[in-house]
A and B are shown apart, each in its own frame.
Chain A
């Protein structure tokens, strides 16, 4: 009974607050991450040599350094050059840049998988390169990239739990505080695990539905 009261009066409000912070971190990071990923992915395939090299360097850097380290650099490192970010902004920045690096790899693969004939046909109709990429190549590529990009968004939901390391108290952060006050680590982190599981399940359901809506005749999955 006492447990229940504790959950109702302390755990629930704190976790709800954390949950909203988590969502507030995830949503913009997913959008910015995808936008960065698409831009960088396109540049890595169609950019001029120096642009391509710069985009590749970005991916090497942000995919190669642990995310926690990146977050520490944004939050604790930047003040050395007189740039002060709030924990929230630093977290969104870190997540977006890291997520973008991964997205760009899925986008790049998808762009490379589009047959040359599609480009020849567009060019022969008088499409400029930019128009061709936007109207012909990209709509096909995004369909192929979607499973990978969806995977990355699921990942993002989970690594948003690192934000508390730079004092942005989201779901995991709230849990940590609650647990260290009450020593009910198991119960609280089971609840938190369930919350993340619920978020990723909802996200994957939405992504699955999106994949279904974008499915084209001739590209259906054939059950063997």
Chain B
């Protein structure tokens, strides 16, 4: 049976007079890979950032494993964020730490695990993303694809229940996208629950359990990749999909 692991209800965010997110609701089951698509400014990033409260929503509620997240309580918020991994478009590796230290620091400083044990765990996570030989390299010495894989290892080390990926390959050269995609594919195969915003339609449709089309701060339509890409009900969804298919190649 599918069990909801993350549930968001009516998340809204306003910047000044502009509503960037207008009541988004989503239920994510264990092992789901939800893909958020939509034009820029649709609110995909804001939605992801609201889910782990990097952006404080003006309205709305979030449940993780049936427990509501009280984000105004700092302790609860920190505990919740450990269970929700976040991957950023521009990696956001800690510039003053090498790859190993980047992965280890959360374990040591947040989880309070001993340095040695945390180091061993960090090495395992970096091995998992294929970076065994780059442990001592600083972010500036890594390629974009390697940086993104370090950031994935850093998030995985915290044992998240859900991963939020905000256009993880948008800042990468085309030939580096593949290495990050294959890591994400492995994650999915191992049952990781993920919500990912992306423009990589081909990758999305081959992997997604559900595609969520957003526009103008709203979730317009959701459904299986086949439904969204081939038989979308909404005109805007169809328009967007045909445009993006043209840009990024075949849907499969």
Chain A residues whose C-beta falls within 8 Å of the C-beta of B90 in the assembled complex: 117
Q: Main secondary structure on chain A at its contact with chain B?
A: helix
Given A117-B90, A123-B54, A124-B52, do A216 and B96 touch, yes or no (CB 8 Å)? yes
Q: Does B81 contact A (CB under 8 A)?
A: yes
Closest chain A residue to B79 by CB distance? A126
Given A117-B88, A126-B81, A135-B105, do A218 and B95 touch, yes or no (CB 8 Å)? yes
Given A136-B94, A216-B138, A218-B139, do A121 and B110 touch, yes or no (CB 8 Å)? no
Chain B residues whose C-beta falls within 8 Å of the C-beta of A135 in the assembled complex: 105, 109
Given A123-B54, A125-B110, do A219 and B78 touch, yes or no (CB 8 Å)? no
Asked if B92 and A120 make an inter-chain contact with CB atoms under 8 angstroms apart, the answer reads: yes
Given A217-B138, A218-B139, do A128 and B78 touch, yes or no (CB 8 Å)? yes
Asked if B158 and A219 make an inter-chain contact with CB atoms under 8 angstroms apart, the answer reads: no
Q: Which of A117, A124, A131, A139 has the most CB of B within 10 A?
A: A124
Asked if A216 and B94 make an inter-chain contact with CB atoms under 8 angstroms apart, the answer reads: no
Asked if A125 and B81 make an inter-chain contact with CB atoms under 8 angstroms apart, the answer reads: yes
Asked if B93 and A121 make an inter-chain contact with CB atoms under 8 angstroms apart, the answer reads: yes
Asked if B95 and A125 make an inter-chain contact with CB atoms under 8 angstroms apart, the answer reads: no
Chain A residues whose C-beta falls within 8 Å of the C-beta of B82 in the assembled complex: 125-126
Per-position 1/0 for B69-109, Cβ under 8 A of A: 00000100011111011101010111110000000011001
Rounded to whole angstroms, the CA-CA distance of A134 and B94 in the bound complex is 13
Asked if A143 and B54 make an inter-chain contact with CB atoms under 8 angstroms apart, the answer reads: no
Asked if A128 and B105 make an inter-chain contact with CB atoms under 8 angstroms apart, the answer reads: no
Q: Does B141 contact A (CB under 8 A)?
A: yes
Closest chain B residue to A125 by CB distance? B106
Q: Does A127 contact B (CB under 8 A)?
A: yes
Rounded to whole angstroms, the CA-CA distance of A136 and B139 in the bound complex is 14
Rounded to whole angstroms, the CA-CA distance of A125 and B154 in the bound complex is 8
Rounded to whole angstroms, the CA-CA distance of A139 and B109 in the bound complex is 14
Asked if B138 and A124 make an inter-chain contact with CB atoms under 8 angstroms apart, the answer reads: no
Chain A residues whose C-beta falls within 8 Å of the C-beta of B85 in the assembled complex: 124
Task: Give chain B's interface residue range (CB within 8 Å of chain A).
Answer: 20 to 34
Asked if B95 and A216 make an inter-chain contact with CB atoms under 8 angstroms apart, the answer reads: yes
Given A135-B105, A135-B109, do A126 and B158 touch, yes or no (CB 8 Å)? yes
Chain A residues whose C-beta falls within 8 Å of the C-beta of B155 in the assembled complex: 124-125
Contact pick for A120, options B54, B78, B139, CB 8 Å? B54
Q: Does B140 contact A (CB under 8 A)?
A: yes
Chain A residues whose C-beta falls within 8 Å of the C-beta of B139 in the assembled complex: 218
Chain B residues whose C-beta falls within 8 Å of the C-beta of A216 in the assembled complex: 95-96, 138, 140
Q: Does A200 contact B (CB under 8 A)?
A: no
CB under 8 Å from chain A, chain B span 145-178: 151, 154-155, 158
Q: How far is the CB of A107 from chain B (nearest CB, A)?
A: 16
Q: Does A8 contact B (CB under 8 A)?
A: no
Contact pick for B95, options A118, A123, A131, CB 8 Å? A118
Contact pick for A140, options B54, B95, B105, B138, CB 8 Å? B95
Q: Please name 20 pairs of A and B residues whose Cβ atoms are closer than 8 Å in the assembled complex, sorted by A.
A: A117-B92, A121-B151, A122-B94, A123-B81, A124-B81, A124-B84, A125-B82, A126-B78, A126-B80, A126-B82, A129-B74, A136-B94, A140-B94, A216-B96, A216-B138, A217-B141, A218-B95, A218-B139, A219-B95, A219-B140
Apart from A124-B54, A219-B140, 15 more pairs, CB < 8 Å: A121-B86, A121-B88, A121-B93, A124-B81, A126-B79, A126-B81, A126-B82, A126-B106, A126-B158, A135-B105, A143-B96, A216-B95, A217-B137, A217-B140, A217-B141
Question: Which 8 pairs show the lowest CB-CB distances between chains A and B?
Answer: A218-B140, A124-B86, A126-B82, A121-B92, A117-B92, A125-B106, A217-B138, A126-B81
